[in-house]
Amino acid sequence: MNAISLLFLAAVYLSFHTKTCFCLAPFSQMLVLPLKTQELQSGSFPRSPNKLPFHHNVTLTVSLTVGTPPQNVTMVLDTGSELSWLQCNTTRVNQPTFDSNRSTSYSPINCSSPTCTNRTRDFSLPASCDSKNLCHATLSYADASSAEGNLASDTFNFGGSDIPGVVFGCMDSGFSSNSDEDSKTTGLMGMNRGSLSFVSQMSFPKFSYCISGFDFSGVLLLGEANFTWLTPLNYTPLIQISTPLPYFDRVAYTVQLEGIKVSDKVLPLPKSVYVPDHTGAGQTMVDSGTQFTFLLGPAYNALRNEFLNQTGKFLRVLDDPNFVFQGAMDLCYLVPQNITSLPLLPAVSLMFRDAEMKVSGDRLLYRARGEVRGNDSVYCFTFGNSELLGIEAYVIGNHHQQNMWMEFDLEKSRMGFAQVQCDLAGQRFGVYH
């Protein structure tokens, strides 16, 4: 068992408890915020321990203010992790920080507080007490790095509304900034189903977002989105299990995959390959914090073969066994640099229970920057092999959520999505200038 699964195990055992709601007063208002996709210079951005030390360039970020008087912060929206955190070590160079000393509404949480003792149980490492009797949290990552700081609360301001008492981690060490020096983000907003996640604290019945494919923009909507102009969504139930299993993340947004199609051809695999096994391995998570989509080996190989089969006539495969894009994507093509658009590609459909998500067009291939062979660019298939990353799950990443209205309906325990033109949706909400 590797370090990742050990941490994962710890997280699962800690989460074996009955849930109590510690929520703030239900927030009835709907909030609309602009969402940005942002390119990061670095290889990895720290997040929850049960995740791959993932390489990604693109994150979804939301800008807001925290504290009194308000300080601007930019946070990565992550449906795959729980604790929101801000970088609070103001001595760090080249990194935006939150200065807790300048906020009169900032309040550190002490160890005996129920927030510290009761609400940190889904964390992979238990919260501890520091020398000042404050609640100390350690976040560890799959690549063995970690970050530490205190749990604290402060006022968050979204779109003009003040929300006091939001709990987050005020981190003062860790997150080696070597590779992430010009990062433009101050922290991360945890959006999973754990008790301390931002959505759980706010008791939002649902939230939704849309990410544009072209202009790095999007919209995040916290609360009910009932607009007649919005395309009806296709819904698939969120899966929850009552028994803790070592590889199953119970606070993730889990859906049930039942098949995969390439154009009209369904991959010849039994449905059982998509069902979590007795260890919990094989869960399908919808994750805004991961860029691409990863499938377990058998499904990945079948998809790779079929996509290759259907594209072999008009695309040239990069024949270089030593080149694996981001460590997990080994189907790449040579595309002449002088072409203006990619040829028409067969769509890949992810068949969830009751709903299908179709990935088509340019979202199927991603240009590997800096990779040139002769007069050709290298483009890679945007589905990767989980096994090459050492993870035991299917992960639906944000690249395939582009131009989709993605709704996380906690109240009805379901996920809805539909294709929309995201820049137009943003205009309807007035978040673009």
Ligand X SMILES: *[C@@H]1O[C@H](CO)[C@@H](O)[C@H](O)[C@H]1NC(C)=O
Of 2, 20, 104, 240, the one binding ligand X by CB under 6 A: 20
332-336 and 234-237 beta bridge pairing: unpaired
Q: Which two tokens stand for residue 342?
A: 């990619």
Q: At its nearest, how many Å lie between ligand X and the CB of residue 113?
A: 4
Give the footprint of ligand X on residues 56-75 (CB under 6 A). 57, 72
Whole-angstrom Cα distance, residue 116 to residue 150?
Answer: 10
Output the DSSP codes for 60-104: EEEEEEETTTTEEEEEEEETT----EEE--TT-TTS----GGG-T
In the complex with ligand X, the residue whose CB is nearer, 26 or 374, is 374
Quick one: 400 exposed, middle or buried, by C-beta within 10 A (0-12, 13-18, 19+)? buried
Of 23, 92, 347, 429, the one binding ligand X by CB under 6 A: 92
Q: Does 2 bind ligand X (CB under 6 A)?
A: no
Q: Does 104 bind ligand X (CB under 6 A)?
A: no
In the complex with ligand X, the residue whose CB is nearer, 122 or 392, is 122
Of 309, 317, 372, 413, the one binding ligand X by CB under 6 A: 309
**CB-based burial, 150-180: b 16+ in 10 Å, e otherwise:** bbbbbbbbbeeeebeebbbbbbbebbebeeb
Q: Does 328 bind ligand X (CB under 6 A)?
A: no
Q: At its nearest, how many Å lie between ligand X and the CB of residue 147?
A: 10
Q: At its nearest, how many Å lie between ligand X and the CB of residue 35?
A: 15
Rg of the chain in Å (alpha carbons): 21
Q: At its nearest, how many Å lie between ligand X and the CB of residue 370?
A: 5
Catalytic residues: 78, 287
Q: Does 268 bind ligand X (CB under 6 A)?
A: no
Stretch that binds ligand X, among 188-196, 208-216, 236-244, 370-378 (CB under 6 A): 370-378
SS3 content of the chain, % helix, strand, coil (to 5): 15, 35, 50
Q: Does 372 bind ligand X (CB under 6 A)?
A: no
Q: At its nearest, how many Å lie between ligand X and the CB of residue 22?
A: 7
Q: At its nearest, how many Å lie between ligand X and the CB of residue 281?
A: 27
Whole-angstrom Cα distance, residue 31 to residue 11?
Answer: 31
Could you give the maximum distance between any two Cα atoms of the chain, in Å? 67
Beta bridge partners of 333: 317, 379
Q: How many Cα atoms occupy the beta-carbon half-sphere of 162 within 13 Å?
A: 10
In the complex with ligand X, the residue whose CB is nearer, 100 or 254, is 100
293-295 and 383-385 beta bridge pairing: parallel
Whole-angstrom Cα distance, residue 164 to residue 157?
Answer: 8
Count of residues that interact with ligand X, criterion CB under 6 A: 32
Of 113, 145, 217, 234, the one binding ligand X by CB under 6 A: 113
Q: Catalogue the E-assigned strands of 175-224.
A: 187-190, 206-211, 217-222
Give the footprint of ligand X on residues 210-249 (CB under 6 A). 226
Quick one: 30 exposed, middle or buried, by C-beta within 10 A (0-12, 13-18, 19+)? middle
Stretch that binds ligand X, among 26-34, 92-100, 296-304, 378-386 (CB under 6 A): 92-100
Binding mask 135-174 for ligand X (x = CB under 6 A): -------------------------------------xx-
Q: At its nearest, how many Å lie between ligand X and the CB of residue 92?
A: 5
Whole-angstrom Cα distance, residue 411 to residue 394?
Answer: 24
Binding mask 180-199 for ligand X (x = CB under 6 A): --------------------
Q: At its nearest, how many Å lie between ligand X and the CB of residue 50?
A: 23
Q: Does 375 bind ligand X (CB under 6 A)?
A: yes
Whole-angstrom Cα distance, residue 175 to residue 44?
Answer: 10
Q: Does 336 bind ligand X (CB under 6 A)?
A: yes
Of 94, 101, 178, 322, the one binding ligand X by CB under 6 A: 101
Q: Does 369 bind ligand X (CB under 6 A)?
A: yes
Q: Does 39 bind ligand X (CB under 6 A)?
A: yes
List contacts with ligand X (CB under 6 A).
20, 39, 41, 57, 72, 88-92, 99-101, 110, 112-114, 118, 133, 172-173, 226, 309, 312, 326, 336, 338-339, 369-370, 374-375
